[in-house]
Amino acid sequence: MKSDPELMADFAGGDESAFDKLVKRHQVGLLNYFFRLLWDRTLAEDLTQEVFLRLYTHREEYEPRAKFTTYLYRIGRNCWIDYLRRTKAERKTRSLDAQDEEGRSLSEAVAARAEDPRSTVGKDELTEAVIEAIDALPEDHKLVFILSEVQGMKYQEIGETLGIPVGTVKSRMFHALKRLREHLGRSMKGARGPWQQAGGEAD
């Protein structure tokens, strides 16, 4: 199986099937990256397509010296920043009580998504609390956290992707996790601790 840089080289040389392979290989990762930033699958797909579109039109700019996923998620970060700029006026912080355009709260919307057989997002209280907790993270912490937890990127790679030092990645990761734990603690007050429940240690 060809590596990502080899496929990019083939693609830059005109082999369209190499682009297809790259899309197949990375579409789920990118989609879930955006899904965890937006909690909206349609928008997440839209941004994922935007990334691949930019990859397509800027194929010659990729240098094999850079890890392909770093390059790809750097495009992803730029798409995300552009999206934030575009929607600045209309965006509001969402909470479980806020309602979407269909009159559903975030928790209801998540539950509705969970009915989608293709989605594996669960409906239970803890899952909703986790979603709310991630959603409440500051933007820069959220990006680091998602790249680490969803994409499984190492700190070094996250730093290269976001253009920040490894020390900053480490610090943001710590603070993100701290906030997440605090948020979960508040959301799941009364339970022994949602993370404990997740680990199968709850009552």
Partner 1 sequence: MDERLQEDLVALVKDELPAERKAELEALAERDAAVREELEQIRAALRAVHRIGMVEPSAAFRKKLEQRIRDSVVHKERSGRLKRPGSTALRLTSVESPSASALRAAEAARSSRKTSASIRLAERRDRPAGLGWLRYAALAAAMVLLTLTLAHFFYMPSGRPADEAPLTAMMQRWNERREAPRWEDVLKGDAVAAAKIPDGTELVLLGNYKEGGQENCVVAYTESQLEALRAHAGVDPKDLEARLALSFKATVENGAVVVPPQLRARFFKDASARVVILACPDRFELWSEPDFQRYLDAEPKLEAVPPKTGS
Residue 193 structure tokens:
């601790």
Work out how close the CB of 2 gets to partner 1 at its nearest, in angstroms, rounded to a whole number. 18
CB of 134 to partner 1, least distance (A): 7
103 or 117: CB nearest partner 1: 117
Among 2, 91, 123, 178, binds partner 1 (CB under 8 A): 178
Half-sphere exposure in the Cβ direction for 196 (13 Å, CA): 10
The stretch near partner 1 (CB under 8 A) out of 57-65, 69-77, 78-86, 95-103 is 57-65
Specify whether the CB–CB gap between 187 and 133 falls below 8 A. Answer: yes
Q: Which residue stretch of 39-47, 81-89, 92-100, 101-109 sits at the interface with partner 1 (rule: CB under 8 A)?
A: 39-47
Burial of 124 (0-12, 13-18, 19+ CB in 10 A): exposed
For 5-36, b where at least 16 C-beta lie within 10 A, e where not — what string?
bebbbbbeeeeeebbebbbeebeebbbebbbb
**Nearby residues of 11 by Cβ (< 8 Å), 6 or more positions away:** 18, 19, 22, 59
77 versus 181: smaller Cβ distance to partner 1: 181
180 and 134 Cβ atoms separated by less than 8 Å: yes
Q: Is 115 in the site for partner 1 (CB under 8 A)?
A: no
Does residue 120 belong to the site contacting partner 1 (CB under 8 A)?
yes
Distance CA 59, CA 50 (A): 14
Q: Which of 108, 111, 149, 168 binds partner 1 (CB under 8 A)?
A: 149
Is residue 191 involved in binding partner 1 (CB under 8 A)?
no
Among 2, 3, 58, 86, binds partner 1 (CB under 8 A): 58
- Within 8 A by CB and 6+ apart from 194, the residues are 126, 129, 130, 184, 185, 187, 188
Point out which residues bind partner 1 (CB under 8 A): 12-14, 16, 23, 27-28, 31-32, 35-36, 41, 44-45, 48-49, 52-53, 56-60, 118-122, 126-127, 130-131, 134, 148-149, 154-155, 170-171, 173-174, 177-178, 180-181, 184, 193-199, 201
